[in-house]
Amino acid sequence: MTKYAIGIDGGGTSCRAAVADATGTIVGRGVAGAANIMSDPDGALENIVRSSRAAFADAGLDPSLAEHSAAVLGVAGANVGLHGEKIRTALPFARADVVTDSLIALQGALGHSDGVVGAFGTGSVYGARRNGKVTEIGGWGFVIGDQSSGARLGRDLLEIALLAHDGVETATPLTRIVMAEFANNPQDVVEFAHAAKPREFARYAPVVFEHAIAGDAVATRIVAKAASDIDRSLDALLWPECDTVCLLGGLSAAYRPWLSPAHRALLAEPKGDALQGAVSFAVALAAEDERCCA
């Protein structure tokens, strides 16, 4: 029988965990490094366990109790191939389930209500619930997806900076700053890009927004394109009667003024975040385990 429940939000930059008691009250939180189960499954597993044990320590509990608890991990890549199942079988908890990051974002933001959710951090993902039916889109990784994510913003910036260096694009203050970081050597940019993890691209996102607000032409173009991608994805999920759109993640506030007026009019404050969604699922899993063992 499991006494505690662990909700885990495995992000591309950091992994957050929260431990809750049987009533669903969060009693401790922990944070560790990135949890990308596709590009670094071993590192992801280590950080998942580390953040969970840190949450127990924060609660004043023995960290080893994590191994006797029910846990739900929400993570990008859970919907691709066998990555989700592989990480699930490796988790050292009494019971564990692995779901997509969009599902925990949806649950955290809406609870059991209907609506549409978009989450934007290192990666990006969308979900909708309509009459109890859940639809998820996106979350395919920044190489071929994750439009509007921090990683995609950084990748697009480096691409345009190289084009500006080659004279194909007009250089701007932002592209000059980026190239100066690499001593104006395009080969260094290429080597970085081939070796970098999504979180390393995503670190450029704040500076892109900063320069977009200041009117930098390249930054403005990147953010406007990203906002347009959000609008298109929201349109793919919305239905005429839907009156609730919630944005989550570290970039959500920055995108708000760039969205179409129609979508801004639907924006509502989320009830909670993705981690709280994971906790909600974990509490239900722990209760199910207790019923089975009663």
Question: Domains along the chain?
Answer: 5-108+273-293 (3.30.420.40), 119-270 (3.30.420.40)
Strands 133-138 and 124-130 turn out to be antiparallel
pLDDT band at 24 (very low <50, low <70, confident <90, very high): confident
For a pLDDT cut of 70, what percent of the chain falls above it? 96
pLDDT tens digit sequence for 61-104? 988 888 888 999 888 776 666 777 888 888 888 888 888 888 89
Token pair 């959500």 is at which residue? 252
> What pLDDT shows up at residue 291?
58
For residue 294, pLDDT over 60 is answered with no
> What pLDDT shows up at residue 81?
63
Q: Which two tokens stand for residue 257?
A: 């003024």
Amino acid at 132: G
Residue range 245-252: mean pLDDT, rounded = 94
* β-bridge mates for residue 20, sequence order: 5, 26
